Copies of this chain bind each other. A is one copy, B any other.
Amino acid sequence: MIIIMDLDATPDEIREVEQEIERVGFRPFMNPGVERKVIAVLGEVDAHKADLIEHFSNMPGVARVDLISDLWKLASRSYHPEGSIVKVRDVIIGGNEITVAAGPCSVEDEGHLLEIAEAIKQSGAKILRGGAFKPRTSPYSFQGLGEKGLKMLARVRDKVGLPIVTEVIDTHDVRLVTDYADILQIGARNMQNFALLKKVGSGVRPVLLKRGPAAKVKDLLMSAEYIMAEGNQNVILCERGITTFEDSTRNTTDINALPVLKRWTHLPVMVDPSHATGDWRMVGAVARAAVAAGADGLLIEVHNDPPHAKSDGPQSLKPEKFAALMNQLRRIAEAVDRKL
């Protein structure tokens, strides 16, 4: 349920509505920074909806009370009809421009990282991605450099001037990763690690939330809702392929999810064609498709020596191939009236 206040509602009227929401057993949440104040009523309102609508409709300063029929509320387009924009330093995600984040799967060597960062920046990428904490299927695989990797990322950011996105895999590490990263990534395997979602939801950094390989679009939005319900509205969704019977690629890119998400939520949506295909030879076609289908951004793995990458080499593009792809993507972006 959302309570839409009058345009000229006073701060006192707003406060009273919020207090009344709490008094009757729910939680108020007010969308910050928009002209018209809209207060979401969080909790299981369904059983009492008729009473609640009447009750709040009659309070001073209230323009209208609406039910949001979606299971997700703060993430719903009904609650926030305009597309959201997430700002990270001077980069904007969710506007007319398509934002590309690129970089190695895992941070391994500062010299290489710097080289890659400079190359991708020159090709038009706006964000540097790289993993310091790596969730790997096998406990005997390379698990990332941890804080040492975060420091490398931060130093390269300062030199090259690209904000960084990196994954956090444990509630214990959220503070640490927040100290270095500009965007916190929640990986696909942790999409329903609700403790972690709540933790980053109460934090200050924008969150890139990757869809789990067996998660429905609805589940992805519910996980976004976990983050938003804690206060952090800066959530970027990321389609990275789902698990299906098809085995010619590592995952199946759910391209249908793009128009579905655009209808159901105001949050920006990125696509990760590298994980979604698992094969650098397929990355270009799927990246082009994502832009054509309405993605707000892409997350692409780039490595200057894929065969020796410590993880995900086969799906990484070399910098020169990435540069060529960016030129193709620029043309597709223009064909859908956007920029890159």
Residues of A with Cβ closer than 8 Å to B?
42-44, 71, 73, 135-141, 169-173, 189-190, 192-196, 198, 212-214, 216-219, 222, 225-226, 229, 241-249, 251-260, 262-263, 276-277, 281-282, 284-286, 288-294, 328, 331-332, 334-336
Cβ-defined contact, B256 with A248, below 8 A: yes
Q: Which of B73, B172, B229 contacts A195 (CB 8 A)?
A: B172
What are 16 sample pairs from A and B whose C-beta atoms fall under 8 A apart?
A169-B193, A169-B195, A170-B171, A170-B196, A189-B192, A214-B214, A214-B243, A242-B244, A247-B247, A256-B276, A258-B285, A259-B277, A263-B281, A288-B336, A289-B293, A292-B332
| Chain B residue contacts of A226, Cβ below 8 A | 139
| Chain B residue contacts of A288, Cβ below 8 A | 292-293, 336
Number of copies: 4
| Chain B residue contacts of A289, Cβ below 8 A | 255, 258, 289-290, 292-293
A140-B42, A214-B212, A222-B138 known; A259-B245 Cβ under 8 A: no
Cα of A246 to Cα of B213 in the assembled complex, Å: 11
| Chain B residue contacts of A198, Cβ below 8 A | 139
Q: Which of B136, B196, B218 contacts A248 (CB 8 A)?
A: B218
Cβ-defined contact, B194 with A193, below 8 A: no
Determine how close the nearest CB of chain B comes to the CB of A139; give it in whole angstroms. 4
Determine how close the nearest CB of chain B comes to the CB of A296; give it in whole angstroms. 13
Determine how close the nearest CB of chain B comes to the CB of A271; give it in whole angstroms. 10
| Chain B residue contacts of A285, Cβ below 8 A | 255, 258-259, 262, 292-294
Cβ-defined contact, A249 with B260, below 8 A: yes
Determine how close the nearest CB of chain B comes to the CB of A129; give it in whole angstroms. 20
Determine how close the nearest CB of chain B comes to the CB of A77; give it in whole angstroms. 13
Cα of A229 to Cα of B137 in the assembled complex, Å: 13
Cα of A136 to Cα of B193 in the assembled complex, Å: 10
Q: Which of A242, A258, A288, A336 lies at the interface centre, i.e. has the most chain B CB atoms within 10 A of its CB?
A: A288
Cβ-defined contact, A256 with B225, below 8 A: no
Contacts A216-B245, A249-B256 supplied; 5 other A-B pairs, CB < 8 Å: A193-B193, A193-B196, A216-B248, A244-B252, A331-B335
Cβ-defined contact, B171 with A172, below 8 A: yes
Cβ-defined contact, B259 with A246, below 8 A: no
Cα of A284 to Cα of B229 in the assembled complex, Å: 33
Cα of A18 to Cα of B260 in the assembled complex, Å: 48
Q: Which of B138, B242, B258, B331 contacts A246 (CB 8 A)?
A: B242
The 4 closest A-B pairs by CB, nearest first: A214-B214, A170-B195, A292-B292, A289-B289
Q: Which residue of B lies closest to A284 (CB)?
A: B259
Q: Which residue of B lies closest to A331 (CB)?
A: B335
